[in-house]
Homo-oligomer: A and B are copies of this chain.
């Protein structure tokens, strides 16, 4: 796991009470550690954070993956999606008056000390989670991955530069099409003719020798296809660029293999309206002349994501989720849980004697989005309807694909998956 050996790994060893501040003017006292360091790449006035050195405190798993209140539905939506129950409870308790500040996070000046502490901690926790090296900038932006479809070529290449797109689903295809406005993208592989059920091996790819970057979508939300290994750009000066919207922070990632990682928050790490960009700093500062200022990474990096008013409440929510993921033990532990949940559903599908079918090749099945169909397709509407009655909602597949789709992001409790599988078996018994 990248985090375990990163220079930021100390941040993993946090006190579970560290966020329970009563007074925002005493931030530095809230981190009960023994040595002092500053948050990397911190905005404006860095706030000192005290770290634990080498002792390992007891980290309790307080994540909502273990709890589920009776009044909650199991929400299998593809995003916006289920959030950790304890994170929602914390946001609820702080909404009206954030930690004695006398105001809501939604009312705070983005340049005030309260919000600066929020965004700096969110960044520090994300760096700890993913083991993000110091030569990478972390940006909190707006506009979703779709805005990044334009921002990537506008920032990383010139209009005549060749770049490669490996398209394994609808989102990669959208990224490819948008790039055509701003550079000369080459489609080096597409899974479209096989209905986006596969990912090619590196050997199958014919990369452009001088491609400025190779773009992939790490997990295709609609088609349920996920990279398990990442291709390496053949051009030594090329960069791997990944849209990780729907599997961001769902597993460990070696960030150093990427030039740019970007992700909409609304799958695994927060509400919609926040887009996170992780970019190697040497790629910043070469935007094309016609780049709108809000799509220029340099502007945002120089201003620590505070050039304009950022989506403050969304960033706060992401911070609460990052804290929760750290308290679960980091992404290595999160990944284990996600594998277990996905295995349970895929096994149920594969052991159904064809009653349920997942079209995706087994080796690249997504841990996040499980698309499946019924052999008797006329029963699919009934399946969705009956599941909803049992408080399992948003199981209808994407309109472009049909069938069903169970999105089981980090915050989906194991109990939700178990309930779904029990329902699938019961449904099969009644309709086989």
Chain B residue nearest in CB terms to A174: B293
The 0/1 profile, CB within 8 Å of B marked 1, for residues 90-112 of chain A is: 01100111000111101111101
Min Cβ gap A385→B in Å is 13
Interface string of A396-410 (1 = CB under 8 A from B): 000000000000000
A53 within 8 A of B: no
Q: How many Å lie between the Cα of A112 and that of B293 in the bound state?
A: 33
Give A94's nearest chain B residue, CB to CB. B92
> Using an 8 Å CB-CB cutoff, how does the interface string of A109-123 with B read, 1 for contact, 0 for none?
110100000000000
Q: Which of A79-87, A125-133, A225-233, A324-332 contacts B (4 or more CB under 8 A)?
A: A79-87
| A273-B311 contact, Cβ under 8 Å, with A95-B92, A107-B80, A294-B147 | yes
A78: Cβ under 8 A from any B Cβ: yes
**Least Cβ distance of A104 to chain B in Å?**
5
> What chain B residues lie within 8 Å of A151 (beta carbons)?
292
- A51 on the B face (CB < 8 A): no
The interface residues of chain B lying within 8 Å CB-to-CB of A273 are 142, 273-274, 310-314
Listed stretches A69-77, A192-200, A277-285, A344-352; interface member: A69-77
- The residues in A between 283 and 314 inclusive whose CB is less than 8 angstroms from any CB of B are 289-295, 307-314
Cβ–Cβ contact B109 & A78, under 8 A: yes
Check A80/B292 contact, CB under 8 A, given A88-B95, A95-B95, A142-B144: no
**Which chain B positions have C-beta within 8 A of A274?**
273
Interface check A271, CB cutoff 8 A: yes
Chain B residues, Cβ within 8 Å of A292 = 147, 149-151, 154, 178, 181, 292, 295
Q: How far, in Å, is A23 (CB) from chain B's closest CB?
A: 13
Quick check: B272 and A310 within 8 Å, CB to CB?
Answer: yes
A156: shortest Cβ distance to chain B, in Å?
A: 15
Residues in chain B near residue A80, CB distance under 8 A: 106-110, 309, 312
Are B311 and A272 in contact (CB-based, < 8 A)? yes
Does B309 lie within 8 Å of A264, measured CB to CB?
A: yes
CB of B271 within 8 A of CB of A102, answer no
Specify which of B149, B182, B289, B317 is in contact with A181 (CB 8 Å cutoff).
Answer: B289
Q: Given known contacts A83-B106, A104-B83, A107-B75, is B311 in contact with A314 (CB within 8 Å)?
A: yes
Residues 179 to 217 of chain A near chain B (Cβ within 8 Å): 181-182
CA distance A182 to B290 in the complex (A): 7
Docked Cα-Cα span, A81 to B115, in Å, equals 13
Q: From residue 374 to 408 of chain A, which have CB atoms closer than 8 A to chain B?
A: 391, 393-394
Q: List 14 A-B contacts (CB under 8 A).
A: A73-B102, A75-B107, A77-B108, A82-B103, A83-B106, A88-B96, A92-B92, A142-B142, A144-B308, A146-B308, A149-B292, A266-B309, A272-B313, A311-B314
Please name the 6 residue pairs, one residue from A and one from B, whose CB atoms are nearest each other, closest first. A273-B311, A73-B102, A150-B292, A106-B271, A142-B142, A77-B109
